[in-house]
Each structure stands twice: as C-alpha cells, then as structure tokens.
C-alpha cells in the first residue's frame, strides 16, 4: 500500500506504557500511518526509526502547541483521517479538599484538551466531508466511585460532549465514537500515585488516606485487561466503515454497566462497602 493511500491517524498521549502507545502500535499494524504525539518525544523513542510513525511533540493543554502539531501534520501528510483524543491525567482525592488548581488541570487536559484538538481538526475534516473523531472516556462515568471525583467528572463531561458532537458533525460526514475502557493495564496507576503524593495533607479525610491511596491503583490489578488486547479490539471497531457510537471493553466494563442501572440506594451501599466511606 502506497504511503499516501494509508489512513492518517493522530493520537494524543502516546507515551510508552500507556493506552495511547498501544493504540498507536495497533493502528500501525493495520497499515495506518500514525501521528504519535506526546509532551516529550523521548517518551516515544521506540517509534523513532519506524516509517509507520510520524512523531510530534504536543501538549493538549496549549492551544499554540495543538495548532503547531496539526499544521505540521497537514503540511507533511496532507490530511488527518482519524483523531484519537486519548491524553488524560488522573486526580485522586476527596473533592471537598482537592486543590482547585488540580481539578482545573484535570479538566484542562481531559476535557478542554480534547476540545482543542476537535476544534482544530474539524474544519479540515468538514472540507473533505469525511473523518472520525474518537474520544477515550471512562467506565467510571457509569457509576462514579469515591476518591476520584474530579477525574470522573471530566470524563463525564467528555461523554456528554461526544454525544453532542456525534449529532452536530454528522452533516459533515464526520463519525464521532465514544470509547469507554474498563480496567486496562497501563502506567496510569503510577501517574496517579505520583500526583497523589503532591496533594496536601488532608484535614477531614486523614483517616481515609489508605483507602484514597488504594484508589490510585484500582484499575491496575493482576486481572486488568492487557493494554494490547484493549488496543486491538478498539482499533478493529474504529476502522469499521460504520463504527458504533459507543464501544466499551475491558475488565469491569460489564459490572459497571450493571451498576449504572441499579437503584442509587443499592449502588451507594455497594460503593460505601467497597471504598470504606
């Protein structure tokens, strides 16, 4: 397949060990040309000499960085067929005491970061009357659990944004897909633990510190779905001619879907027992 006949896929948050990195490899395995982006090129060094990848530094919290990465990509490759908004950060802690600056950073990355990319790429896709926008949400939106409210709220907003975009962009031939991962093996637990260590000492919640700390690594048990398995299934769905609006896979995805339909009193009882609150 000629280089210029391949689908061009731009993915945010492709640092090694994460979901984005696995998605990049899975798209490349399907003969796509992958624009792999991250805040540091060094974090994607294993892609460096592979012609399947075009590497770009990209900080989704910066409008200037987004514009530069997209203009460079379009200048080099001529088009973007698929945008995957994967970049995200965790924020663990009780909402009543988490610094607002940490919550703002979470939304700036998880929600506004995705919207920056979307607003930058939509005019290009609309001009071609084709394209796909893939937003990586979270299964925790179905049943929000204690100690990660800021993260879940940012992903819930992303889910709502995705539903709206699906309708608004349809007239322009652009598909919008909500990918909802369950517990997937990645480096997000380490990142969450690192950010939690920078939190202030809790005043009201000192006695819950152990439970809150455990929340940082909740998705990283031995039974978590391997990143490669998640990536392969996701890519197969995204590349369909008529992709579904919603796709959820990974450990606990079915359980959380069931939780969503439970009466709130029952759900609260289960979560209080599970998270010691």
Q: Is 155 a catalytic residue?
A: yes
For the record, the structure tokens of 130 come out as 């084709």
Considering only the top CATH level, what class is 3-275? Answer: alpha beta
Q: What pLDDT shows up at residue 237?
A: 98
Sign of the C-alpha dihedral computed for residues 227, 233, 235 and 237 taken in this order: negative
Q: pLDDT tens digits, residue range 98-107?
A: 999 999 999 9
pLDDT for residue 270: 95
b/e map 175-211, b = 16+ CB within 10 Å: bbbbbbbbbbbbbbbebbeebbeebeebeebeebeee
pLDDT the model gives residue 196 = 83
pLDDT at 222: 60
Sequence ranges of the domains in the chain: 3-275
Q: Which of 132, 155, 185, 196 is catalytic?
A: 155
* pLDDT mean by block of 10 residues, the chain; 277 residues: 80 96 98 97 95 97 97 96 96 96 97 98 98 97 95 98 98 98 81 82 94 78 86 98 96 94 96 88
Catalytic annotation on 151?
A: yes
When the pLDDT of each residue in the chain is averaged and rounded to a whole number, the result is 94
Neighbours of 274 (CB within 10 A): 12
Give me the catalytic one of 151, 198, 240, 260.
Answer: 151
């Amino acid at each position: 397949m000629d280089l210029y006949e391949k689908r061009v896929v731009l993915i945010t948050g492709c640092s090694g060990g994460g979901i984005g990195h696995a998605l990049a490899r899975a798209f490349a395995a399907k003969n796509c040309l992958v624009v792999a982006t991250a805040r540091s090129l060094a974090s994607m060094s294993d892609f460096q000499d592979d012609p399947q990848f075009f590497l770009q530094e990209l900080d989704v919290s910066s409008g200037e960085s987004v514009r530069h990465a997209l203009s460079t990509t379009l200048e080099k490759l001529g088009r973007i067929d698929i945008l995957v908004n994967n970049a995200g950060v965790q924020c663990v802690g009780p909402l009543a005491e988490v610094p607002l600056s940490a919550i703002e950073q979470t939304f700036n990355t998880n929600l506004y970061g995705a919207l920056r990319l979307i607003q930058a790429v939509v005019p290009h896709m609309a001009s071609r009357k084709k394209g796909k926008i893939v937003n990586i949400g979270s299964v925790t939106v179905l049943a929000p659990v204690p100690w990660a409210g800021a993260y879940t709220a940012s992903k819930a907003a992303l889910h709502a944004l995705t539903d709206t975009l699906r309708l608004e962009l349809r007239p322009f031939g652009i598909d919008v897909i909500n990918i909802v991962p369950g517990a997937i093996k990645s480096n997000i637990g380490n990142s969450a633990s690192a950010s939690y260590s920078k939190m202030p000492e809790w005043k009201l919640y000192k006695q819950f510190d152990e439970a809150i700390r455990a929340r940082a690594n909740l998705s990283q048990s031995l039974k978590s779905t391997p990143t490669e398995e998640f990536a392969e299934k996701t890519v197969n769905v995204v590349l369909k001619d008529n992709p579904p609006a919603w796709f959820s896979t990974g450990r606990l995805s079915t359980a959380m879907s069931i939780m969503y339909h439970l009466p709130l009193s029952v759900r609260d009882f289960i979560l209080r027992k599970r998270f010691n609150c």
